[in-house]
Amino acid sequence: MKKINNFSFIVLVALLLGNIFFLSSCDNKPKEENIETVSEEAQKMAEEEEAIWQESIKNMPDEDTLALPEKLTMLNDSVAVTWNRLLSAEREKNDMLQKFVREARFVEGFNGKELIDKLETERKLLLKLRYDDKTMQNAETMDAYDKKLVEIQNLIKQIKESNPELERYPIPYSVITYFSELDNTDFLLRKHYADYASQLNELLKNKKDEIPTLGEQFVKIKPAPEFEYGELN
C-alpha cells in the first residue's frame, strides 16, 4: 500500500506545482511585457505541468502486477485527486473573470464598458451552469455549460481586440491569456479524470463478485460519475 500512497502524493504535488506556476504567471508579469511574451511563458508553464503529470503516471505501479485491493485503492484515489483538480479549475475560471471585470474598469482609455458589463452578466450565468458530480452526467447540461464558456472566450477576445493597450496591464492580460488557452487546459483536466473514472468503473463491474470478499472499505467504493456530451463535443 506504500506504493499507492506514494503515487497519490506525487499526483498531489504535481497539481500543487501547477497551481503555483499559474499564480506566479498572474502576479509577476512586468507591465512592459507584450502579448507574445506572456503567451509563450503561459504555454511553457502549461507544458511543465503536463510533464509533471506524465512523470507521475510513469512512476505509477503496473496495474497488471497489482492485487485487486491495490488497484481499487489506486484508481479510487486517482479519481478523487483529478476530480478535485477539476473543481479547483472551475473556481479558478470564476476568480479570473472577476479579476478581469474589476481591473479592466481601471484601464486608462478603456473602450467598451458595455462589453465588461456583459461579461459580468455572462460570468454569473456560467456560475449557475457550473457542473457537479450529478449534472455532469447530463449531456444537455454539459452542452449548455460549454456553449456559455465559448461565448465568454469570444467576448474576452473581442474586448482584447478593442483594447490593445491591455497588454500593458499584467492582471487583465494574464486573464486574456488564460482564456485563450483554456480549450487545451480543460481538455487535459477532463481527460485525466475521465481516464481514471472509466478504469475504476470497469474494474468495479468486472470484479463485482470478488469485491465483497475484500472487506467493507472496498464495498464502499462506488462507480465514478462520467461526463456525458451532446452535439457540441
pLDDT reading at 14 higher than 60:
no
- Mean of the per-residue pLDDT values of the chain: 81
For residue range 69-126, list pLDDT tens digits in order. 999 999 999 999 999 999 999 999 999 999 999 998 888 888 888 999 999 999 999 9
Domain boundaries of the chain, sorted by first residue: 2-219
pLDDT for position 228:
95
For residue range 171-191, list pLDDT tens digits in order. 999 999 999 999 999 999 999
Lookup: cell for 22: 499559474
Higher model confidence: residue 196 or residue 11?
A: 196
Beta strands in 30-88 (DSSP E): none
pLDDT for position 65:
57
Lookup: cell for 194: 475521465
pLDDT for position 22:
42
Residues 6 or more apart whose CB falls under 8 angstroms from that of 89 comprise: 185, 186, 189
Higher model confidence: residue 10 or residue 215?
A: 215
d(CA 82, CA 88): 10
For residue range 193-211, list pLDDT tens digits in order. 999 999 999 999 999 999 9
What one-character DSSP code corresponds to residue 33?
-
Lookup: cell for 225: 460519475
Band of residue 38 on the pLDDT scale cut at 50, 70, 90: very low
